[in-house]
Amino acid sequence: MGAMRVVALAVVAAAVVAAFAASPAPVALRTQLLAYEAPDGIHIVAVDGSGDRLLRGTEPRDQNPEWSPQGDRVVLWTDADGAGDVVVIDAGSGRRTRLTESAEQDVNTDWFPSWSPDGSTIVFNSDRDGGNEWTIYAMPAVGGPLRRVTTGWGPRFSPGGRLTFQLDGRLVTADADGRDRREFPTRNGRSWAPAWSPDGSGLAFITNEPFTSAPGQTSRNPTYEIGRMNADGGSYRRLTANRIRDGDPAISPDGRTIAFDSGRFGWSEVLLMDASGRHQRRLTHELEGDACCPSWRP
């Protein structure tokens, strides 16, 4: 009986080993990537700083990249032809699609584009209103008719589909048609470049609130720093304080990390920090020019 039991156990063990051997290897999680602007075009880099490379299809003077909600395309603006135009690049094939033709329409620039949460619409600033570059327009992400939305600067959508932008130094939110405007609480300084957390609980932004040496303190010496607040405007706090320009925040898909650019090296590089503002560390090493305007791939 003992010998038979040993044989039976051996057969079971062999079957288990064979089953594991026949099973497919676990699928590795996709490496978290960011896109950023550099003098030679849009770069892609892993969150650990590895694999830095040019995005397929990018060109010099491509600026302010933003990943689509699906993570398969990048929208940007370029002024390579002397006027700013909105361009979408397919991240897989590198195919470029120019969505606006400012130069042909005698418009100075279409710039700072951003996706709607479902990826169907792109909003951007333009001076199509007779030189007022603060006008926000919207168009289908595949191209098509433009519509004027409202007046403001640097439009970004919240996860819930509301626009957030700067107006007269204040952050304002409105519905997708520019109506139902609501101002965030004002502070001692200007705020702009809003970046929402993926869960919609809060946003980061640039502020020139004067400060001394630590977040929460103020003085007569304003500079560009990163701030953060809840979606209702509460729990306002500044995350950086170094008297050097810090800007263009972007919150990671899990909400735990903020990417931003900083001039603290004598030129601009992209850095990462915890959502609390701690553990600031350098991501890029763009030694031949500036790196800025990071965007996380969803």
- Is 127 a residue whose pLDDT tops 60? yes
- Look up tokens 């960011």; give the residue: 34
215-267 pLDDT, tens digit per residue, is: 444 444 557 899 999 999 999 999 998 778 999 999 999 999 999 999 999 89
Q: Which two tokens stand for residue 11?
A: 């057969």
Q: Which two tokens stand for residue 77?
A: 């603006």
Residue 240: per-residue pLDDT: 93
- Look up tokens 């100075």; give the residue: 108
Residue 260: per-residue pLDDT: 98
Weakest-pLDDT range from 22-26, 43-47, 112-116, 119-123: 22-26
Q: Between 207 and 289, whose confidence is greater?
A: 207
| 88 exposure class (CB count in 10 Å sphere: 0-12, 13-18, 19+) | buried
H helices within the chain, ranges in order? 2-22
- Is 6 a residue whose pLDDT tops 70? no
Q: pLDDT band at residue 162, thresholds of 50, 70 and 90? A: very high
Q: Which two tokens stand for residue 66?
A: 């933003």
Residue 236 exposure: Cα atoms within 13 Å on the Cβ side: 16
Q: In the chain, what are the domains? A: 34-296 (2.120.10.30)
Question: How are the residues of the chain apportioned to helix, strand and coil, as percentages rounded to the nearest 5?
Answer: 5, 40, 50
User: Which whole number is the average pLDDT over 57-65?
Assistant: 97
Q: pLDDT band at residue 104, thresholds of 50, 70 and 90? A: low
Q: pLDDT band at residue 117, thresholds of 50, 70 and 90? A: very high
- Is 1 a residue whose pLDDT tops 90? no
Q: pLDDT band at residue 82, thresholds of 50, 70 and 90? A: confident
